[in-house]
Amino acid sequence: MFWYKGWLETRFRFCFALGFTVFFLGSAYAYGLKTTAALHVVIGTATVLVAMFCGQLAGAGIATQPAVQATAGLHGSTLFTLSLPVSRLHLLAVRASLGWLQVAGGIALYCGGMWVLFPIVRDTASGAEMLEYAGVLIGCASGLLFISVLLATFLDDLWRMYGTMMAFGALWWASKRVAMPDSVNVFRAMGEGSPLVAHSIPWAALGVSAGLAAVLFLVSLKIVQQREY
Amino acid sequence: MNDLIIETTGLTKAYKGHAALRGLDLRVPRGSIFGFLGRNGAGKTTTIKTLMGLLRADSGTARVFGIPVTEGSASLGDSCIEVRRRIGFVTEDKELYPYMTVRQILRFLRPLFPKWRDELERRYLEMFELPLDRKIPNLSKGMRSKLMLLLAISRGAELLILDEPTDGLDPAATEDVLRELVDIAASEGTTMFFSSHQLAEVELIADHIGIIDQGRMVASGSLDEMKAQYQRLQVVFEETVQAPARWVDGVENVRQMGRVISILASRNVDAIVEQARSLPGATVERFPVTLKEIFMEHVRGN
């Protein structure tokens, strides 16, 4: 039933994310996506779209509980949630998984739209490469999503979104400034290193993202299991 | 079978150096309606959160249904899942999910509690006149209190923990709710542990009382025994006199207003009456005390 609760909690922001994806695709259509160079610009910009999904759709299921009364304090209905007969691991896992699925849904809409709307995409990549691109975006988004999940363990929704955007900005800046192999750069893997552009799967970046997601999940779990709300 | 449904021994809890609980000893008999009283900041909500496994005690032990809720778990509260399944809880702030309707929160909670009572849900939905399709933020505070009570009662809980359950209710609704709580306790054998600032309400329905002050239990026991133990003596003199400097052991409080001395006695009442009568021109009357007087006596001056 926590899936049901999570869905009710997030359905409007999920719909907003889908709506924004349609707007993004519409803008690309209006822009006239007909050249490879233009396609690469759209693919690079899609990295921001995916980051926005992660910032918007992540949650930890505990601290980000909205309140009915504005005066009720930071955690709103958190006390009610924690009084239910369920472990904090369950709360965290369900909410984080739901966020992950919604991010995957947004990415699927984006990739599907790109494939259907733009012949240039079909001309430059095979269907398998498009699927690989979607998989890479979902894989790379996982690491970013769990940054937001971690922040959701101790920040309310508004500050979590601000915090997530700042963290993503700092990571993006670091990815440009800090010397590291291109192969492990998660942002690059979603753009110029993606299967649509590089025609290969960035396994190293996917590994980094998966490792980051796993570590952040464990840290988040430790926090929610130890924290007194 | 242990006849205590809640038992804490030497429970302590501090927040950033401020002691909220200082060796709390609490015993709640199974089947009782236990009024948990204390001033603001006395430690009531901290106690309740600790019993629910939401806070980690610094020391001491707490058992609910005989299950330890303060020990043996690195993960806060996970040892209390079984305990929470058997408890109906009304939070002090009455906060529920603002994105749900009444129908949706019922649908959400039902599967979490295997002993969910559909007939109680229907009964209280009707009695409290709760609109199923209204969003929770669009309910009045009183209706939210009623909804929380419905959600707590319908769980088929063995223990109801109610933090200010009648907060926000009008007098008529308060009376309805109190009557229902007594009915449930009587018909289902449900134990009720509730905190309230409304001493008159507590006195109306509670059969056991615990008074907490500055994190310690300062009085606890059967309300009838407590009220039998305490008496107020009114000593009226023919003319203004100086009250004795020393009274027999058992005098808790003495107040003088002109020719009248009012004494709150906790024991040795007969000896105190005898002493008062021995004063020149004194007539003595005994009065039963109210819960408010007992409460004030225990928290005054601390």
pLDDT digits (tens, 9 = 90+) for B189-225: 899 999 988 888 888 899 999 999 999 998 899 998 8
Average pLDDT, chain A: 88
Please report residues of B whose CB lies closer than 8 A to that of A89.
Answer: 75, 78
Q: Does A70 touch chain B (CB under 8 A)?
A: no
Q: In the prediction, which pLDDT does A75 show? A: 55
Please report residues of B whose CB lies closer than 8 A to that of A87.
Answer: 75, 77-78, 81
Calculate how close chain B gets to A21, using CA atoms only, in Å: 24
Residue B28 binned pLDDT confidence (cut-offs 50, 70, 90): very high
8 Å CB contact of B109 and A1: yes
Please report residues of A whose CB lies closer than 8 A to that of B74.
Answer: 225
ipTM, interface predicted TM-score of the complex: 0.83
Tokens matching residue B18: 């401020």
The β-bridge partners of B29 are B4
Distance, in Å, from the CA atom of A189 to the CA atom of A136, rounded to the nearest integer, reads: 8
8 Å CB contact of A228 and B76: yes
The β-bridge partners of B233 are B263, B286
Please report residues of A whose CB lies closer than 8 A to that of B154.
Answer: none
Mean of pLDDT values over A33-60: 87
Calculate how close chain A gets to B203, using CA atoms only, in Å: 28
- Reduce the DSSP state of residue B215 to 3 states and report it: coil
pLDDT for A153 beyond 60: yes
pLDDT for A163 beyond 60: yes
The two beta strands, B260-265 and B251-257, are: antiparallel
What pTM was computed for the model? 0.84
* H/E segment holding residue B160: strand B159-163
CA distances for B43 relative to A159, A222, B83, B214, angstroms: 30, 27, 21, 7
Residue B181 binned pLDDT confidence (cut-offs 50, 70, 90): confident
Closest residue, chain A, to B110 (C-alpha): A1
CA distances for A117 relative to A111, A112, A152, B210, angstroms: 10, 8, 36, 71
Q: In the prediction, which pLDDT does A72 show? A: 41
Residue in A76, A225, A228 nearest the CB of B55? A228
The residue ranking higher by pLDDT, A228 or B19, is B19
- DSSP tag of B243: P
Distance, in Å, from the CA atom of B37 to the CA atom of A46, rounded to the nearest integer, reads: 58
Residue B71 binned pLDDT confidence (cut-offs 50, 70, 90): low
Mean of pLDDT values over A52-63: 80
